[in-house]
Amino acid sequence: MTARTVLLLVLDGISDRPCPDLNGKTPLQAAATPLLDRLATQGVCGIMDTIGPGIRPGSDTSHLSLLGYPPERYYTGRGPLEAEGCGIHMEKGMIGFRGNYATLGKDGTILDRRAGRIHETWELSAAIQQGVDLSLFGITFGFCSGAGHRAALALKGEGLGPEVSSNDPKREGVVPPVVRPCTDRKADRKTADACNEFVRQSHEILEDHPLNRTRVSRGEPPANIVLIRGAGEMGYFESFEERYHLRGSVIAAATLITGIGKVVGLRHVPVAGATGSVDTNLKGKIAAAVRELEQQDFVLLNIKGADEAAHDGNARVKKQFIERIDASLSPLLELSDCLLVVCGDHSTPCTIRDHSADPVPLLLHGEGVRVDSVQRFDEFSCAQGGLHRLPGLSLMPIVLDLINKAHKYGA
């Protein structure tokens, strides 16, 4: 027998380095993970450079690579993917940006880049979409809220370029810079001018919005400016079904991962209570994945909370969340005819609070795999596994071979 379906479970940022708070262990080593260890014992393991040795992957480039889309060919910037994930349909040639709602003080400096980690910004985004006018530039736009303080902007029009800077100073206490073209091209100048006008008009709308007046009255920071960054031009993505003859779905709280799934043609499956944080609805996400596998060939399931804890430098919270993940995975043991792939997309060491180039653990479980001697699912145990060390772009060819859908090379 061979497996018929594939579940790609990406444990976002799960890989780490030895942590002083955990007696020199990684959070994955320190965590009690009986189910993941059972899968490792019954499967084949390895470690993976999702982009390449020594290269720090972004969540965007790593997921493209895991899905078999070479980032050097397909990646044009995070903005278009975030915009698609937020619900803006990105057409080829549109310019996309990721954004934050932030707080601008009376002195013109940024007081809080996340506006107190505001949630539920849909009213603000609707007001911006209705009130901002870029018609003098011959431009239409889409602006939509993402999770929490996040948002996305997309510009559509003739003669636009993606090579522009950001108005996000990346720190508080300074005046946000104007958006500038990064080249001498008229197209980039036009985009920069349109972005600055968008920021100006949206700031005027946000300053007087009832939601912000209420926040100020409660002593909360108003979300009165939009910071944009990650500009990119939307390109062409061959669909996942065309590429692999597999119908697929994506389940993720992060709009970036949702956007990546949508641009390659995966069906987005929303899950109530999925937050992208350590309080996410793990049970609901696992249940949704199991349901999707009843009708789809492939499911990409991203679980992000460990990455967030690592960016906060909190090794103990990361360990605890990993244990929560493990406790939620028991329904996967009941899957039949399914190849289960478990991996990280990048390492996020708590000691540096950012992505690193350290390889991630990888586990394949299902019919047809050559079981190795690995007994634990962690960075060091998996390094002893039968898959050895491989690049991210090798994952989908291995998966296709294990479900008997690979093409023969030669006669």
pLDDT at 389: 98
Beta bridge partners of 226: 101
Token pair listed for 251: 């389940």
The helix (run of H) or strand (run of E) holding residue 410 is none
Q: How many whole angstroms separate alpha carbon 81 and alpha carbon 77?
A: 8
pLDDT at 314: 97
pLDDT at 1: 77
Determine contact, residues 95/154, Cβ cutoff 8 Å.
yes
pLDDT at 119: 86
pTM: 0.93
pLDDT at 228: 98
pLDDT at 372: 98
The helix (run of H) or strand (run of E) holding residue 233 is strand 225-233
Three-state SS letters, 386-409? CCEEEEHHHHHHHHHHHCCCCCCC
Inter-CA distances, 75 with 66, 101, 344, Å: 13, 25, 20
**Chain-centroid distance, C-alpha 182:** 26
- At 53, the amino acid letter reads P
- At 388, the amino acid letter reads H
Determine contact, residues 70/396, Cβ cutoff 8 Å.
no
pLDDT at 148: 85
Please identify every stretch of the chain with a pLDDT value under 70, giving residue numbers as ranges: none
CATH 3.40.50.620 fits 5-76+237-402, yes or no: no
In the chain, where are the structural domains located? 5-76+237-402, 81-233
Number of H helices, E strands in the chain: 15, 13
Q: How many whole angstroms separate alpha carbon 314 and alpha carbon 351?
A: 9
Centre a 10 Å sphere on the Cβ of residue 238 and count the other Cβ atoms it contains.
13
pLDDT at 147: 83
pLDDT at 26: 98
**What b/e sequence results for 260-273 when a residue is b if at least 16 CB atoms lie within 10 Å of its CB, and e otherwise?**
bbbbbbbebbebee
